[in-house]
Structure 1
Amino acid sequence: MKLHLILCFFCFSLVSFSQILVINEIDVDTPGIDDKEFIELKSESPNFALDGYILVFFNGSSSGDDRSYMTIDLAGSVTDSNGLLLIGSANVIPFPQFLISENVIQNGADAIGIYEASIFDFPEETLATQTNLIDALVYDTSDSDDVALMNLLGVTEQINEGSSNNTNSIQRNNDGTYFSGTPSPRQLNDGSGIIFNGVTIGITENQYNEGESLNITFTTNTNVTSDLNFTINLDNNGFNTTDYTGNISLTIPSGTNTTSTILSLTDDSDDEGDEVLIIKLLDLVEPIIPSNNNIAVRVVDNDFTMAPWGKPITPTFGLVQSTQPGGYYDSLDGLADSELRQALQDIIADPNTVRAQTYNDVTDILKAADQNPENSNEVWLVYTEQGRPKLDFQTTSDNSGKWNREHTYPRSRGGFFNIEEDDVVDGPDIFWTTKADSLRHGNSDAHALRAADGAENSLRGNQHYGEYTGPSGTLGSFRGDVARSVLYMEIRYNGLEVVNGFPSTNNEPLGDLATLLDWHRNDPPDDFEMNRNNVVYTWQLNRNPFIDQPDLVEYIWGTNVGQQWVQPLSVVDNSLNNVQIFPNPIENTITINGLTQDTQITIFSLQGLKVYQSNVNNNTPFTVDLFSGLYLLQLNVNDKISTRKIIIK
């Protein structure tokens, strides 16, 4: 019994008082968007190799249940000449020796533990434990103590960094206690040790065009005592030494603290897309260290391509043909009501054919499906009706000027959710088998995901369409597109429904059906939408039938419910494809070319009001007197109808 007690006390002492490696400082909450968080470890001896050690982060919230949410393998890392290892994002100054993403450390009450273990010992949601624990810190930002988490880790005090958006960090005293004070990353907390001389990279702009010059300065905190020779590297993905010329081997002369270089960015004829070069400092030896590093500079490619079809606000029709396989919709012919619905679902949710991709794969899908027809380096944003560089995809909590993935059928109403594998980007040939009951796969169904301005996406939230009608001042060119996407979702997945009205709770169906039907009728599929249908098909091997066969909407929800569906002949669909309307945008005179006989022209407002009607001949100009805005022009020849969007200036 005595031996047992002694051994238990010895194990507890190892957990509580080991000095091999400790948590020296942590800053979990920084002003703004928490992009300067860091953790600093301290080894008993300098230049200590951290192979065999891991850092585990525990979630102390009620939903986290004191379980792990992130684990870092420290293998390959070595502490510096002060025994310190700084772990943080690229925004931390001085530049961390170990990089992590921005805004990933939770504010508390939470904990961090150092373990002598393998990362495989701590899969996500592992309960906090003292097994193989070297050091632990339970902390908060003015939160109540998490006694259970403290007990699990064998610590007796929870340390408060300060209230929300504080400017403090938690720092370890030499006696093992902690205090909250001004952050001192990569510096001993008592002010002793080697004081490092940091090199700061300076640029005047974050974006340049091909053919322009990039001026980079390098400045140390204090004058160097001997010539400081170092090199830089700019390579990043496809950007390499063929994309610039200039000196990248530099010297800061003894007794000074600055030098600079001018690099010429190559203006080639290749359509490489916009690229990002990364300025990286190489060859620095302590006590010289990077103050900042990995500085991103965008290089805008002027060799972008343009598609022959128009943007949604200047649409074209008939230039992009559906890539549906022959007979894709033949099984629908002669069916009505529930039989028509079921046959359509059997096509677009066929588990023997249809593929589900990861949520991160969707980012690549949207870069192609929502590509701006006028600039191949941009995506076209739903709702705000504008192009945005593909490089501006949102990767942090800051959505200003960024684009992200908008669920037209909101996740909270559909019951979609992420799983860990959704973080993987593995391309079109690695996929999940999916069926009509695979509701979770609605999370990454690209037919109902669109590139959207990050801030506008947040503003829409999970509002019903009709409650949400888009930003003021826009043309509403997205309305038919989102209508067809959410109607597709109702047929594709069991458990989803589009209804009249505005259900009040999050998990209710999506509304408003009447609004969406009007949007579908007044904003018919254009070339942009047909192209995105074709692109998504190459990944998912299913199509949005309401783009290929828009009249199906009327047979399922609209004016033809109960009637048997008969697939239109392709000759009818294509008979008016060669008709051209010009100019567009229009001031007051319209000319229509390509008509072979008298044609009835009807113009509707986006609200469905008939504002003009006349009969015209080929190439005969006619005048309209309409307010500025977006309208629908309908051509009717022998009961064959084609609808085009026009803009009145």
Structure 2
Amino acid sequence: MKKNFTLLLLLTLSYSFSQIPTGYYDTATGSGYTLKTQLYNIITNHNDQGYDAFDAFTATNDLDLYYENDNSTILDIYSENPTGIDPYNYTPVIDECGNYNGEGVCYNKEHVIPQSIFNQNAPMRGDAHHLLPTDGRVNGFRSNHPFGYVGANLVSQSGITNPTRNGSKLGNNINTGLFSGYSNTVFEPIDEFKGDIARIYFYFITRYETQVTNWNYDMFNGTSDQVLTDTFLYTLLNWHFNDPVSQKEIDRNNAIYTYQNNRNPFIDHPEYVCQIYNSQCATLNTPDFASVENITVYPNPTINEFYISTTTTLKSIIIYNVNGQIIQKIEQPNTISNETYQVSNLSSGFYLVEIASDNGKIIKKIIVN
């Protein structure tokens, strides 16, 4: 898949909105695994609040201010429907598990990196950066399976549909191209939250780089530098590129800094990912869908509206502001004339335009005066 990696540099604009303490990343001056170790030194020795304290954190900081915007229910990445009505909602504390016998009964604490990997030890067990409130049944359904792209052979379990009620699914890894090398069961969240998962993993393997070689997990390769096997490194890199940092992630990162006094560098500085994994990013930069390479976005700068000219049939156009929020999402857009699409009603600002066909995606930048 072709990615325009200037996107990562453009996304650095988002950190001006992120309340990063002055000087926090001053010592992050290297590249490659040197940079990764420098980041480890910055974010290590956080103030571990313990596993049980996370309940109170969730009740205040994991509310849905971004989709339903009701400020009273849990934002659960395994049940959230970003474009419609959620299949169910949870009230903080009141709906916490408890026992469950199916999806939609209650929520509990999901360790994005399974706690069995590190034997439930502190500080990993209570690290809020990789703890999320999720549906109890879906949490159990995901179990300790790796994250990946599900290809076929969906796994059937009683008490739950597959895909789940928001479209997350469990099945065999696609095991093809850059994502080959693993054919067993993986869990795939919906596209809206894939980047969230990727950046949590990049945080975790950086924060615990001095311990990770002691942990046996299908996603890990036994090293303290790359840490992830090629299969899962390319998977998470792809998720990181295609799902930019959101306002939800920024807000949560700020809250966690107050809570346990360390930050996720890959939310503050998305470009750090490719500065560490430069060769892998270069490999991902090899085009395999030239059809969306022949594309023009004009005029740029513009006023209020712009046009997209391409011989490719587009399936979506998504406009992001510099803070990673979706401003417009146009599904199955119609051309206004031969091979030309129009996007209008934009206020002044700097935007990222994600243009997708059936063959892939590309990111363009646009300035509206």
Partner of 1:477: 192
After TM superposition, the structure 1 = structure 2 runs for residues 441-590 of structure 1, keeping only pairs within 5 Å, are 441-466=123-148, 471=163, 474=167, 475-493=190-208, 494-496=210-212, 512-559=232-279, 577=322, 583-584=328-329, 588=333, 590=343
Mark the CA change 1:635 to 1:603 in structure 2 (over 3 Å): closer, same or farther: same
Q: Given residue 237 of structure 2, which amino acid in structure 1 is its aligned partner?
A: L
Cα deviations by residue, 1:98-145 (Å, 9 ceiling, x for unpaired): xxxxxxxxxxxxxxxxxxxxxxxxxxxxxxxxxxxxxxxxxxxxxxxx
SS in 1 for 2:71: strand
**Kept in 2: contact 1:480–1:519 (CA 8 A):** yes
Q: Are the aligned partners of 2:96 and 2:108 in contact in 1 as well (CA < 8 Å)?
A: yes
Q: What letter is aligned with 2:58?
A: L
* Aligned mates of 2:244, 2:56 — CA distance in 1: 26
Residue aligning to 1:403: 107
**RCO greater where, 1 or 2, for CA within 8 Å and sep 6 or more?**
2
Separation in 2, partners of 1:579, 1:342: 27
Question: Which ranges of structure 2 fall in alignment gaps of 5 or more residues?
Answer: 1-12, 81-85, 152-161, 168-189, 222-226, 283-319, 335-342
Structure 1 residue 480: deviation in Å?
A: 0.7
State the Cα distance separating 1:396 from its structure 2 match: 2.6
* Distance in 1 separating the partners of 2:274 and 2:15: 25
- What is the alpha-carbon distance in structure 2 between the residues aligned to residue 489 and residue 336 of structure 1? 18
1:412 aligns with 2:165: no
Among 88, 91, 109, the alignment partner of 1:389 is 91
Q: Tell me, yes or no, if the aligned pair for 2:195 and 2:242 is still in contact at 8 Å.
A: yes
1:442 Cα deviation from its structure 2 partner: 0.5
Q: Does 1:603 align with 2:355?
A: yes
CA contact (8 A) 2:198 2:237 kept: yes
How far residue 604 of structure 1 moved from its aligned partner, in angstroms, is 3.1
For residues 449 and 332 of structure 1, do their structure 2 counterparts lie closer, same or farther at Cα, with a shift above 3 Å needed? same
| 2:117–2:217 CA contact under 8 A, matched in 1 | no
Give the match for residue 311 of structure 2.
none
More strand by share: 1
Give the distance between the partners of 2:192 and 2:356, measured in 1 at CA: 14
1:366 and 2:58 matched? yes
Partner SS, residue 375 of structure 1? coil
Q: 1:637 to 1:524 in 2, by over 3 A?
A: same
Aligned amino acid, residue 26 of structure 2: D
- Is 1:357 aligned to 2:49, yes or no? yes
CA contact (8 A) 2:244 2:324 kept: no
Among 294, 318, 324, the residue aligned to 2:20 = 324
Question: Secondary structure at the residue paired with 1:376?
Answer: coil
Counterpart residue identity of residue 32, structure 2: D
User: Aligned residue pairs: how many?
Assistant: 258
Structure with the larger helix share: 2
- The residue aligned with 1:376 is 71
Question: Equivalents in 2 of 1:375, 1:445: separation in Å?
Answer: 27
Structure number with greater Rg is 1
- Show the 5 A alignment for 1:41-440: 321-333=17-29, 335-349=30-44, 351=45, 354-373=46-65, 374-385=69-80, 386=86, 387-398=89-100, 400=102, 401-417=105-121, 440=122
Cα distance in 2 for residues equivalent to 1:608 and 1:332 = 37
Partner of 2:178: none
Find the aligned partners of 2:60 and 2:212 in 1 and give their Cα distance. Answer: 27
Q: Does the CA contact (< 8 Å) of 1:383 and 1:452 recur in 2?
A: yes
Contact 2:73 2:91 in 1 (8 A): yes
Q: Letter of the aligned partner of 1:391 in structure 2?
A: V
Return the offset for 1:413. Answer: 1.8
Q: SS where residue 414 of structure 1 aligns?
A: coil
- SS of 1:603's equivalent? strand
SS at match of 1:405: strand
Please say if residues 600 and 635 of structure 1, whose CA atoms lie closer than 8 Å, have aligned partners that are also in contact. yes
